[in-house]
A and B are shown apart, each in its own frame.
Chain A
Amino acid sequence: SAVISQKPSRDICQRGTSLTIQCQVDSQVTMMFWYRQQPGQSLTLIATANQGSEATYESGFVIDKFPISRPNLTFSTLTVSNMSPEDSSIYLCSVEESVYEQYFGPGTRLTVT
């Protein structure tokens, strides 16, 4: 399967600041996604990162809070804006390699103080 990397692997940020998370894949993929996993919880889809167009956001997530870029078929970024302690989570990107099959990046552990 594709090799997926994320940067940073973890960060501690102050409230009110923003953090941009990068997701890099070693092969071209059509579909990339961003998920949030709060401590001890399941995975929740934030948005689908569309190459060359605006991301598609799920209910409860808005572009102003979680702007996403997808400049090409191997890279995407997720920004967590104006952070509050409630944004402390693990953020994961995933890619679809074949029909339906999704594989996850290693995740970014964000702590907001």
Chain B
Amino acid sequence: GENVEQHPSTLSVQEGDSAVIKCTYSDSASNYFPWYKQELGKRPQLIIDIRSNVGEKKDQRIAVTLNKTAKHFSLHITETQPEDSAVYFCAAVGYNFNKFYFGSGTKLNVKP
């Protein structure tokens, strides 16, 4: 089955700096890559996603890039704010579109 690895496990940045979280996957058939943000005690929220036919997608301060050849994708957050502090999960979805394989999560701390 698919194996998704996520790094780093924790990330601390100063407010206004950029943050980058990276994920790799093993199944070349995976074709959908969502990112979820989970604040403490809250549900995971879909913040951005990318499909395999696209190399990059942006939504205001967040962007996701995908390198299918290398089988890795990344989340980029620019101009970080304290409210960006949360745990971020990547996931990969393959030929069996029901099954999301989640990364282990990255705890982002944005220091004011």
Contact = CB atoms under 8 A, between A and B. Distances in A.
B34 A42 contact: no
A45 interface: yes
Contacts of A48: 98
Interface string A32-47: 0100000001111100
Interface of B: 32, 34, 36, 42-46, 49, 51, 89, 93, 97-100, 102-105
Given A43-B100, A56-B98, A106-B43, 5 more contacts: A43-B44, A43-B102, A92-B43, A100-B93, A104-B36
A102 to B, nearest CB: 7
A102 B93 CA distance: 11
Interface string A82-113: 00000000001000100111111111000000
Interface residues of A, number: 21
A56 B96 CA distance: 12
Contacts, number: 44
A19 interface: no
A73 interface: no
Contact of B34 (A56, A58, A100): A100
B43 A102 contact: no
A44 B100 CA distance: 9
Contact of A101 (B44, B49, B102, B105): B49
Interface of B is mostly: strand
Contacts of B32: 100
Nearest to B107: A40
Contact of B46 (A58, A99, A102): A102
Q: Which of B34, B44, B45, B46 has the most CB of A within 10 A?
A: B44
A102 B35 CA distance: 11
Contacts of A107: 43
A31 interface: yes
B2 to A, nearest CB: 12
Contact of B98 (A33, A41, A106): A33
Given A101-B34, A104-B43, A42 B98 contact: no
